[in-house]
């Protein structure tokens, strides 16, 4: 029995090492693709169409005032209104709102609190011809709106979304958390966009015309959908329009103050993606070559050269991302820990049946829909 288990462990170890070798090649290819993607130059014309920016807020964030201010400091020729929404008059996020219209409305329209917030903001006043949705933890440059509207003006484009890298705002755990969007999410997303494998639509930014929003049923159509950003993108594509992802980066500000907060946040994201595209998500295991190689080497008692090669490839990815973003997300010597933690979240996501969203427990249902964990299944 012992010999049989040892044999299984040995061959499983080598299978993991083979998978890690594939992941190493993928990582090197992703580093090249990321560099080339952001090396592209795009011209930006002068646009004057009115824009409404919707910012759903909930709770205090370390640099929320600064994050919001970046959306007001835009080099854009047309009129821009920013609308911030909260569900409670005592929400601490209100203190950070300046130069924007504030909507306080506790009305809940479905299980997705963020979408309820968007519905309340949208019905509080008229929207401009161009509507931009963006999460509270996003920071942008002064050419952000001009580049969005330029991309939206291209033929056949129905929505525009933005790729992002991480920035830690609350100490060690937030900086470690920031490594995930920078070094795990971003390379995979760029690779998918560059080769036409997928066109992600992300909460970092969704820009679309008001008439397009109305044609897809408004925000109410997504009130019980966990991945509302993804669902909006697919609805736009259902109209025969494209979701464009231009070669520009915004910042995702991470505020995780503990390992528990990091784990809950990343597990929610991972479980959401798994529920949307389970096959593609499972195949993304090759994006963890270092963790795979490390586990394989321990089981097979050899193959440590594969571990070294995998780590070198992951360092290449991190260096390229830091170069194109113009910022060092986290110390590079943290990368092995970050990669092992990312792989642990990946494995755990296959067993997740509910997720935490800002303190609310949401039970995942079929088709990417959600309900409060306390609700009785219908």
Q: Which residue has the tokens 């993804």?
A: 230
Which helix (H) or strand (E) segment holds residue 194: the answer is helix 186-194
Strand partners, 56: 85
pLDDT higher than threshold 50 for residue 155: yes
pLDDT at 226 (0 to 100): 79
Is the pLDDT at 333 greater than 50? The verdict is yes
Give the residue among 310, 311, 226 at the shortest CA–CA distance from 269: 226
The tens digit of pLDDT for each residue in 234-288 reads 999 999 999 999 999 999 999 999 999 999 999 988 888 887 888 888 989 999 9
Burial grade of 229 (CB within 10 A; 0-12, 13-18, 19 or more):
buried
Write out pLDDT tens, residues 120-154. Answer: 999 998 999 999 999 999 999 999 999 999 999 99
Least confidently predicted of 24-28, 224-228, 252-256: 224-228
Which of 22, 34, 47, 50 is CA-nearest to residue 151? Answer: 47
- Other Cβ atoms within 10 Å of 60 Cβ, number: 13
Q: How far apart are CA 140 and CA 165, in angstroms?
A: 11
Contacts of 233 (CB under 8 A, 6+ apart): 159, 161, 199, 200, 201, 206, 243
pTM for the model:
0.88
Q: Which two tokens stand for residue 149?
A: 């509207």
> For residue 90, what are its two tokens?
């005592």
Q: Beta partners for 251?
A: 139, 165
Q: Which residues contact 303 (CB under 8 A, 6 or more apart)?
A: 13, 14, 17, 293, 296, 297
Diameter over CA atoms, the chain: 75
Q: What are the structural domains of the chain?
A: 9-38+265-372 (no CATH), 40-256 (3.90.550.10)
- For residue 23, is pLDDT > 60? yes
Are 345 and 267 in contact by the 8 Å Cβ rule? The answer is yes
The mean pLDDT of the chain is 89
Residue 301 makes CB contacts below 8 A (sequence gap 6+) with 10, 13
């Amino acid at each position: 029995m012992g010999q049989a288990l040892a044999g299984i462990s040995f061959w499983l170890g080598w299978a993991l090492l083979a998978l890690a070798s594939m992941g190493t090649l993928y990582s090197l290819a992703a580093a090249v693709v990321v560099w080339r993607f952001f090396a592209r130059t795009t011209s930006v014309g002068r646009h004057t169409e009115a824009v409404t920016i919707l910012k759903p807020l909930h709770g205090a964030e370390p640099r929320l005032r600064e994050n919001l201010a970046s959306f007001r400091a835009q080099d854009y020729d047309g009129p821009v209104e920013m609308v911030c929404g909260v569900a409670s008059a005592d929400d601490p996020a209100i203190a950070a709102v300046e130069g924007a219209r504030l909507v306080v409305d506790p009305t809940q329209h479905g299980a997705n609190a963020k979408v309820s917030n968007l519905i309340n903001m949208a019905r509080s006043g008229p929207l401009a011809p161009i509507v931009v949705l963006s999460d509270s933890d996003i920071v942008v440059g002064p050419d952000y709106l001009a580049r969005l509207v330029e991309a939206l003006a291209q033929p056949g484009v129905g929505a525009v979304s933005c790729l992002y890298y991480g920035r830690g705002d609350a100490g060690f755990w937030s900086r470690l958390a920031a490594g995930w969007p920078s070094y795990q999410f971003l390379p995979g997303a760029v690779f998918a966009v560059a080769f036409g494998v997928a066109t992600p639509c992300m909460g970092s930014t969704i820009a679309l015309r008001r008439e397009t929003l109305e044609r897809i049923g408004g925000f109410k159509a997504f009130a019980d959908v966990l991945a509302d950003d993804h669902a909006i993108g697919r609805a736009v594509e259902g109209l025969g329009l494209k979701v464009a992802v231009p070669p520009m980066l915004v910042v995702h500000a991470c505020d995780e103050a503990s390992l528990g907060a990091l784990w809950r946040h990343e597990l929610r994201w991972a479980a959401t993606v798994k529920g949307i595209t389970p096959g593609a998500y499972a195949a993304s295991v090759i994006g963890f070559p270092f963790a795979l190689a490390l586990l394989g080497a321990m089981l097979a008692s050899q193959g440590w050269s594969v571990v070294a090669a995998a780590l070198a490839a992951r360092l290449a990815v991190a260096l390229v991302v830091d170069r194109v973003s113009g910022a060092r997300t986290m110390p590079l010597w943290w990368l092995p820990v970050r990669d092992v933690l990312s792989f642990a979240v990946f494995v755990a996501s296959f067993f997740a049946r509910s997720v935490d969203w800002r303190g609310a427990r949401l039970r995942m249902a079929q088709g990417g829909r959600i309900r409060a964990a306390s609700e009785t299944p219908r």
